[in-house]
Amino acid sequence: MANFILSAFADEAGGGLLDQIEALKANGITHIEPRGLDEGNISSFTSAQAKKVKEVLDANGIGVSSIGSYFGKIGIKDDFKPHFEEFKQCVENACILGTKNIRMFSFYMPEGEDPAVYKDEVFERLEKMADYARKSDIWCCHENEKGIYGDIDDRCLQILTAFEGRIKGIFDPANFIQCHVEILPAYEKLKDYIEYMHVKDCRMADGFVVPCGKGDGHIAELLRRFREKDGDRFLTLEPHLKVFAGLENLELTGGKESVKEEFEYPTNRDAFNAACDALHAILDEAAG
């Protein structure tokens, strides 16, 4: 049975690294998947910057579950060479930060074109990244993302079977929903290859991201099934909840604010806290 360890994209709480750490601690989360930090995106950090981040995290008792990189999030027709050179630095940073995982993607497809046309180029690029990372005992972890080659379950399976032992999978239910993929069949198809999970829910009808348990992601059942795996398994909260900046300016009509969407929040921190509350509640439900 898996031991779940909670992590989060804490940049969604707003602020710099210390603000993110405070948000994690306040919500009972022990790890971070760093992405946007004080100096910018973690993917472009130097070794010296990564070492400073490590010092701050260690001083506050926060671990790193994975690097929330943007690698593989360029067009398949874009120049891969400079992208790959940046990736090499990210592998070094993963080692510095004490994680074995780098979140990555399988390249955006040209709109309206058949992804199959680009399979060979996608796999050639993935192979270079995966092989380079494994030399340092780092895993590339592929996330299903709308618009990339591996945006649906069948193409994720192609990648994960072809690169078994070199690339592991991240299961993001909300991203699958936005691609009109049914969640539980997709999990059963991919479960043998999933290393960790993003906790993010979404409505199939309109693609709107909502707190986990409020959408069509079958999150409680997903967690029950994911718990059947062995070892430590990260659950990384990725809120993506909508912040309605104009909330404070709304006029009251009939005693009710004219809010278009139920799940909108006045600040980034409010949205992050709401997502954390939903995560803890769904964990209790899954354990029941």
pLDDT at 258 over 70: no
Across the range 176-187, mean pLDDT stands at 98
Predicted confidence at residue 288, as pLDDT, reads 75
| Backbone conformation region of residue 14, classed left if phi is above 0, alpha if psi is from -120 to 50, else beta | left
| Span 23-57, pLDDT tens digits | 999 999 999 999 999 889 999 999 999 999 999 99
Residue range 3-287 forms a domain whose CATH class is: alpha beta
pLDDT at 218 over 90: yes
Give the separation between CA 180 and CA 169, rounded to whole angstroms.
Answer: 19
- Residue 47 CA, distance from chain mean position: 23
Q: Which of 169, 131, 177 is nearest to 150 (CA)?
A: 169
Least confident of 39-53, 172-186, 252-266: 252-266
- Residue 39 CA, distance from chain mean position: 20
pTM: 0.93
| Span 85-123, pLDDT tens digits | 999 999 999 999 999 999 999 999 999 999 999 999 999
pLDDT at 175 over 70: yes
Predicted confidence at residue 244, as pLDDT, reads 77
| Span 119-159, pLDDT tens digits | 999 999 999 999 999 999 999 999 999 999 999 999 999 99
- The contacts found for 118-127 with CB under 8 angstroms, 24 or more apart, are 118/76, 118/149, 119/149, 119/158, 121/76, 122/76, 122/149, 122/159, 123/159, 123/162, 125/72, 125/80, 125/84, 126/72, 126/159, 126/163, 126/167, 127/163, 127/166
Predicted confidence at residue 246, as pLDDT, reads 53
Predicted confidence at residue 245, as pLDDT, reads 60
The pair of three-digit structure tokens given for residue 142, joined into one six-digit string: 């592929």
Single-letter code of the amino acid located at 276: C
For the chain, the first-to-last Cα distance in angstroms comes to 15
Q: Are 187 and 171 in contact (CB under 8 A)?
A: yes
| Span 52-85, pLDDT tens digits | 999 999 999 999 999 999 999 999 999 999 999 9
Predicted confidence at residue 262, as pLDDT, reads 81
